[in-house]
Structure 1
Amino acid sequence: MLSISRTCAMTLALAGVLASTALSAIPAAAQGPTGGQPTSGEPTATEFYVPKQNHYHEAQRQIADLRSSGDRAAADSLGEMISTPQAVWVTGSDPTTVTQEVRNTTHRAAGKRQVPVLAAYNLPFRDCSQYSAGGATDVAGYKAWVDALAAGIQDRAAMVVLEPDGLGIIPWYTALDGNLEWCQPAEANSATAAAERFEMLNYAVDQLKALPNTKVYLDGTHSAWLGTGEISSRLVKAGVQKADGFFLNVSNYELTERQLKFGSWVSQCIYYATEINPGAYGSCASQYYPASPSDFSTWGLTDAWYAQNVGAAANAPSSDELAHFVIDTSRNGRGPWVPSASYPDPQVWCNPPSRGLGYLPTSDTGNELADAFLWIKVPGESDGECSRGLTDNDGVDPEWGRVDPSAGAWFPEQAVDLIANTSAPVRP
């Protein structure tokens, strides 16, 4: 098990970094699509909502334990971490309760002149019934749930991250290459499940965008997952052109600099395959070709493809005509995990050790297509019980020396690990 004392060597620097408000916390390394730096941190950026219901009491107990053990630096930094804006996950199945909880959240945020980020997570067969299984049981139930969500928001400001993994994992879906994907739950109707997924997402976009002050973003996966053309085609089917855009890297660890490039490619691929060469999603350049996914120095090849095929087109789009995106930076300060040991299934996405907090939430990203860096996945929350594919270890995660908490539960060892390994620069 990771010992709390591991954080004793941590400096007080993080506490100072996290103490910055969302209005002034601007990543130094964020590059815009033309190489520009973030703009000045004058009070033009959105101030995002800081909820207290995200494991607030567990974190407070951990802070008290750290103080009593003499580790004041870790205690202070953990306090700053939970005081940073982050998403409120809406997962309850009862529509009446959902309306009340969302109404409470948006009222509190409005009273503070802050914008809440709501992660709506209730699709049938979400996460393909794996670690985060659950959700509505049918299309009608999901639509009623969306109506309840909208009723809780009404005319108050909100940013909705609509169904993480909702487009990355689709039950019984046939991809652009004609192959049936791996998510094939026996309980789902193989003939209708994929079409119903798009029906439900389109319904949610329509209902939420009918609200006057709600922004809606759909699942764009991340740069180490689906190719640009594949996710672009799914986003269009789900209604991205009616939404405000898409989100990247939720609950994952991919570096922000890669998401900025990937997001710009997805935006341009959507435009290319709907306005320039309709239906040609498979022709879009991606992180897999002509670039090499493991060699970031080659990603300029894909930039060049879009410059030639979209930027230089007779009907080249402005940034306002392209889909925008937001990036989850809550745990990507050190990028993805590369295991040092060999496991049957390393599960690199599941509670990887030695990761760090990423850029603080801000809408001042310095990139004309990136609307915000957000903490969508709550740092300190477990990804699930990760066994690394081992079957004779009583469920113990060998990287942490314990059975990991269930998905969404507070993971105190991981919380202090994220703080100890924070490395994302923040411009003063």
Structure 2
Amino acid sequence: MTHLTPTTRAAVVIGVAVALAAGLAGAPARADAAPVEPRSASATPPPATSATTTTDPTVRPTKSAERAIAAFTSRGGRGATASPDPASSTVPTVTTPAVAPQTIRTAPSTTLYRGGLYVDPSGEAARAATALSSQGRTAEASAARTIAQQPVATWLGGWFTDAQLVKKIDGTVAAAEKVGATPVFVTYNIPNRDCGSHSAGGSADNAAYLRWNQLVASRLAGHRASVIVEPDALALISTCPTQTNGREATIAAAVAALAAAGVPAYIDAGNSNWVPPKIMAARLEAAGVDRARGFATNVSNYYPVENERAYAEQVSEAVGGARYVIDTSRNGRGWKGTWCNAPGAGLGSVPSVQTGTTKLDALLWIKTPGASDGQCNGGPAAGQWHASYAVQLVANRAVG
């Protein structure tokens, strides 16, 4: 055994102690510091208000929204810093920089949409392009193909059976993950949807809707995606209040389920020419915007980005700084005096994730450009492909 002088022996002891202290500091201090594992494909998440207590170390407790978001966001690395003093006989203090966990509300837009927005090669516009091409309708097929080249949100509603819904969500998520992109979904199945107008329908009652929404949340749990929650649902309270009694509470429960699954949700907030900012802010608060990422504006509408941003910033300030997204799918020519298949409308700015100083997360194509609003201005039934209208949208698209 090599003989060590007292001075050398003290230095070795100090060095070992420092190494042990650094190793402990670098290890997770709590169970929630570890990444959240995706739920089993067949599992149904517990209600957002429940809490799980267990003494079985193999069973993970129910995650809160803040913990669940870790399933698809990356936390900063931890680095221990210590400068041992060879002349000192005490172990130096090891400091670990505090790293605030990212949450649905605070994660940067570039984290939530890491890899960019997903372009679905089998989306509605792509399918229309294939069908029209096979019929020799070259110009209409070309317009549909132009739209299909951009990321467009995937709408989910009662037109899918449960089995079809699961297949649609799982397939879209898997395809997006394969290319490292982020899909955007739209839930559109609330009872008395569209107040009986062109897109009438929805779940039979609130209980059925929340069960359906829970299925959506369970399939998205552990995956990177965002959801636009129920276009027009809050804004239409002004138009048909008797049909929308208690709607805020229903949306709040739906948002809580999405949050518990770690899914950033944007509650639809109408547009700049519909409900005043303060009134919409009150509805959003009642609808659980504090559990959501934020809200969406201009869905399926035509108002310019400048108008929508000004409106959204007022709403955001009134609800504590919530983030928002704007639908630019058909606002390239601004408002044209009518909402349903508006003549003269054009495609707006292409979808993109935003990183500016406002609360704007992204410009999205939430409405599918080319899908009919209903049987108005020469259009087919709501949701069906309106080939000549798609040609118009492409011809009138915004430049730049």
Structure-2 change in CA distance of 1:150 and 1:254 (3 Å) = same
How many pairs align?
A: 287
Shift of 1:75: 5.4
Shift of 1:65: 5.8
Report the residue type matching 1:168 in the other structure. Answer: A
User: 1:150-161 to 2 correspondence within 5 Å?
Assistant: 150-161=217-228
Candidates 325, 334, 350, aligned match of 1:360: 350
Candidates 407, 412, 416, aligned match of 2:391: 416
1:296 is aligned to none
* Structure 2 counterpart SS, 1:246: strand
Q: 2-side partners of 1:407 and 1:148: how far apart?
A: 25
Shift of 1:383: 0.5
- The answer for unaligned runs of 5 or more in structure 1 is 1-40, 171-180, 272-321, 339-347, 387-396, 398-402
Query: Does 2:295 match 1:246?
Result: yes
User: 1:64-143 to 2 correspondence within 5 Å?
Assistant: 76=142, 78-92=144-158, 94-143=161-210
Query: Does 2:349 match 1:374?
Result: no
* Structure 2 counterpart SS, 1:241: helix
Q: 2-side partners of 1:210 and 1:168: how far apart?
A: 25
8 Å CA contact 2:125–2:144 kept in 1: the answer is: no
Query: Does 2:331 match 1:329?
Result: no
8 Å CA contact 1:63–1:78 kept in 2: the answer is: no
Instruction: Show CA shifts across 1:57-111 (max 9, x none).
Output: 222233466775xx5xx75554232121000000136334322321221111111
Structure-2 change in CA distance of 1:198 and 1:258 (3 Å) = same
Structure-2 change in CA distance of 1:229 and 1:50 (3 Å) = same
User: 1:287-366 to 2 correspondence within 5 Å?
Assistant: 322-338=321-337, 348-364=338-354, 366=356
Q: 2-side partners of 1:424 and 1:237: how far apart?
A: 39
Q: 1-side partners of 2:114 and 2:307: how far apart?
A: 23
Candidates 236, 245, 264, aligned match of 1:194: 245
RMSD: 2.1
8 Å CA contact 1:356–1:417 kept in 2: the answer is: yes
Q: 2-side partners of 1:154 and 1:423: how far apart?
A: 36
* Structure 2 counterpart SS, 1:372: strand
- The answer for unaligned runs of 5 or more in structure 2 is 1-109
1:268 is aligned to 317
2:256 is aligned to 206
Report the residue type matching 1:257 in the other structure. Answer: E
Instruction: Show CA shifts across 1:128-147 (max 9, x none).
Output: 02111111111110111011
1:53 is aligned to 123
Larger Rg: 2
* Structure 2 counterpart SS, 1:327: strand
Q: 2-side partners of 1:57 and 1:216: how far apart?
A: 27
Structure-2 change in CA distance of 1:194 and 1:368 (3 Å) = same
Q: 2-side partners of 1:87 and 1:114: how far apart?
A: 13
Shift of 1:158: 0.8
Q: 2-side partners of 1:75 and 1:126: how far apart?
A: 31
* Structure 2 counterpart SS, 1:124: coil
8 Å CA contact 1:325–1:371 kept in 2: the answer is: yes
Structure-2 change in CA distance of 1:415 and 1:367 (3 Å) = farther
8 Å CA contact 1:46–1:362 kept in 2: the answer is: no
Shift of 1:238: 0.2
**TM-score normalized by structure 2?**
0.67
Structure with larger RCO (C-alpha < 8 A, sep 6+): 1
Instruction: Show CA shifts across 1:154-183 (max 9, x none).
Output: 21111100000111113xxxxxxxxxx431
Query: Does 2:314 match 1:257?
Result: no
Instruction: Show CA shifts across 1:180-215 (max 9, x none).
Output: x43156xx5xxxx522x1222111111111123x21
* Structure 2 counterpart SS, 1:223: coil
Identity %: 36
Shift of 1:152: 1.6
Structure-2 change in CA distance of 1:412 and 1:367 (3 Å) = farther
Q: 2-side partners of 1:112 and 1:323: how far apart?
A: 29
